[in-house]
Structure 1
Amino acid sequence: MLRAGDWLSLPVRRRSVAVVAATLLAVLVVAGLTLTLGRLGVALPDVVAALRGRPLTGTDEIVLGTLRGPRLLVALGAGAALGVAGTLFQTVTRNPLGSPDVIGLSAGASAGAAAFGLLWTGILPVPLGALLGALAAMGLVFVGTGRGFSSPGRMLLVGIGVSAMAFAFVQFALARAGREQATTLAAYLSGSLASRSWDHVSVIAMSLAVFLPCALALTRRLQLVEMGDLQADALGARSALTRVLAVLVAIGLATAAVSVVGPVLFIALTAPQIAKRLTHAPGPGIVASALTGALLLALADLLTQQSPLPVQLPVGVLTAVLGGVYLGFLLLSHWKKGTVT
């Protein structure tokens, strides 16, 4: 058991530690390949020297400081945020399909970005518009369930409806926009890591610094909530409050990710399930899910950068394809178990 004062208590298992260490190593390997492969790749010794504080010069400064460095850090940060948001939603809904993609949050954030990026430009920054859209979507889900967030099944169904309405609004906004605006926002809505800057790195880093400790602090209570509301309440977890807090933290993390990379689909859906299958640990595996999400998004971006295609695809296109395959596998496995009718 890992403790930090009275507010943080985390169970530590050997298998989980081994999985986290292996995933972290894989993240470092992918990061190294991202910076060194390709025509603009930087030699590994130069990357190591830069990490040790050696000033960058010439092409290395442009590649590491402007092109690939910020892009890699945004991919890792956004992937980690989506992984944690996904595991929080899946724990709250007690459903492996529960994620910002399915529950309506990503669609709401996209609608908010479209509203303030196309229709009401200049009123609010696009990231703040994405936050308002996500909050509005979750507000509709909260009201639509009729029981707050205490009915996981109904929460998923209402979330799917909210997603449909939000995506319809996005299409309306794109139809009303000018060609240049629509092209820019369409690239953002497909989920893209192109042209990421240190400003984007700052946004996702600050969001993780605020919300990740909150997610870790909720770990123990969420483990009890997974057992059922009656048992959790009997053990002092206050299931209703825990759910609301977990959803708020997930909203913050998912919105931060969407604001810097757009609605990258299926990372939040797949990362928690992969982490859980590897660790075999009960409850939300916050650290494992964060590292798995970071690995998946960074790996997807590496594949798109090194793709032989004449045009570089947005990373969201690749994650959507791979995530769709995984979703089919997940549904098939549950159908075989008799849990899907």
Structure 2
Amino acid sequence: MTTVRLFGERVSFRLHARTLWVCLALLVVTACALGAAMMLGDYPVPLSDALTAVFGDGSRMAELFVTRRRLPRALTAVLVGVALGVSGAVFQSLTRNPLGSPDIVGFGQGASTGAVLVLLVFGGGTTQTAAGAFVGGLLAAAVVYLLALNRGAHGYRLVLVGIGVSSMLIAFNNYLVTRADLNDARAATVWIVGSLFERRWPEAVLMAVAVAVLVPLAVVLGRVLSILDIGDAGATGLGVRVERARLALIVVAVALTAVATACAGPVAFVALVAPQVARRLTGSPGPGLLPAGLLGGALLLISDLVAQRVTSPGELPVGVVTGAVGGVYLAWLLAREWRSGRG
């Protein structure tokens, strides 16, 4: 049993050996991907020169490409992936449903709607678009929660209501794009898919602050997730204020999703895939917030590297790559469930 102090509160948890090794392996993979992200590009930079540039002693060209362009983009990818992975783990645990991730139940689409409205209707810039995405994600979450609230916002109801709200928001976003000027519509479409193009230090710093504050808060609040798995009646009997705990977890998870979407757009499937794959890798009971976050960071960074190089000298939006990976995983998951059902 290990005890740490977060936000002035003692938090105890068990260290699962396999989970620890998986987390260490994911950190190594992420570090290797970060090195590749700094090296690769139209202007290749050796790893030694890239590391020198990071510490301020590199050549002018290395500093331009590494510290001003590649490193902030790579760090943004990792931090966005961490936020989405943790958020997805919280929602899947709350809903007790593998489809209960924020991009499936409408929170990501709400952020998209807020950003697209600002971009196409009000002609806002980057900062205003990010703010619109944040507000849109929070409003969509509030609408889904209130519509699903009927003597407790139970998991299956959240998922069903969220899918319905998501479908309406997708239709509304498509309508806005079809009515927009061609150049604005192209920019909005790239944003809707999810992209890390031209992400710089402001986005990286914003994500770093959000992750530093919200992920530890999710870990503290996440202690009740395993208790909620036994059902509302059982959790109440153990002294958990169910709706208060559920609402607090939803607020934190939605905030993680909204900030991530504001910085990178509604990147598909990371929040869906990362928690499930992490759970299979660790073999550990419980929500597994930290492994899900680390896997989400590694997955999004590697996907962005693929998106940059697969059509070089151009690049794809990273959401295209994560959508392809997530689609394959979802098809495999459905096929596996179908075979197990027949068996």
Which of 312, 324, 337 is the matching residue for 1:334?
337
Q: Distance in 2 between matches of 1:17 and 1:178?
A: 51
Q: Please state if 1:145 is matched with 2:148.
A: yes
The answer for the alignment partner of 1:246 in structure 2 is 249
Q: Secondary structure at the match of 2:104?
A: helix
Q: Tell whether the 8 Å contact from 2:102 to 2:271 is kept in structure 1 after alignment.
A: yes
The residue that corresponds to 2:90 in the other structure is: 88
**Aligned pairs, number:** 338
Aligned-pair distance for 1:143? 2.3
1:214 alignment counterpart? 217
Please say if residues 142 and 148 of structure 1, whose CA atoms lie closer than 8 Å, have aligned partners that are also in contact.
no
**SS of the residue 2:103 aligns to:** helix
In the TM superposition, 1:315-326 aligns within 5 A as 315-326=318-329
User: Aligned partners of 1:49 and 1:56: how far apart in 2?
Assistant: 5
Q: Is the 8 A contact 1:142 1:149 kept in 2?
A: no
Answer yes or no: is the 8 Å Cα contact 1:79–1:293 preserved in 2.
yes
Query: For residue 191 of structure 2, what is the aligned residue in structure 1?
Result: 188
**Identity over aligned pairs, percent:** 38
Report which stretch shifted further, 142-151 or 107-116. 142-151
Instruction: Verify the 8 A CA contact 1:108 1:137 in the aligned structure 2.
Output: yes
Q: 1:68 to 1:305 in 2, by over 3 A?
A: same
RMSD: 1.8
Measure the CA separation in 2 of the matches of 1:118 and 1:321. Answer: 27
Structure 2: how far apart are the matches of 1:307 and 1:137? 34
Deviates more, 1:105-114 or 1:325-334: 325-334
Give the structure 2 partner of residue 115 of structure 1.
117
Paired with 1:149 and 1:112, the residues of 2 have a C-alpha distance of 28
Partner of 1:4: 4
How has the CA–CA distance of structure 1 residues 42 and 98 changed in structure 2, closer, same or farther, with 3 Å as cutoff?
same
Q: Which moved more, 1:266-275 or 1:210-219?
A: 210-219
Residues 226 and 283, structure 1, Cα contact 8 Å, conserved in 2? no
Q: CA deviation at 1:55?
A: 2.8
Deviations 1:206-226, CA, capped at 9 Å, x for gaps: 111221111110222111112
Aligned to 1:15: 18
- Secondary structure (helix, strand or coil) at the match of 1:248 reads helix
State the TM-score, normalized to the length of structure 1.
0.94
What does 1:1-341 correspond to in 2, within 5 Å?
Answer: 1-5=1-5, 6-51=9-54, 53-122=55-124, 125-147=128-150, 150-308=153-311, 311-338=314-341
Q: What amino acid does structure 2 have at the position aligned with 1:215?
A: A
Tell me, in whole angstroms, the C-alpha distance in 2 between the residues paired with 1:148 and 1:182: 42
Between stretches 262-271 and 148-157, larger displacement belongs to 148-157
Gaps of 5+ in 2: none
Displacement of 1:331 in angstroms is: 1.7
The 2-side partners of 1:224 and 1:314 are apart by 39
| C-alpha distance in structure 1 between counterparts of 2:159 and 2:69, whole Å | 39
Q: If the length of structure 2 is used for normalisation, what is the TM-score?
A: 0.93
Per-residue Cα deviation, 1:272-306 (whole angstroms, up to 9, x for no partner): 00110011111111111111000000010111222
In the TM superposition, what whole-angstrom CA distance separates every residue of 1:173-216 from its partner, at most 9, and x where no partner exists? 21232222222221111111111111111111111122111111
Q: Name the SS for the 2:227 alignment partner.
A: helix
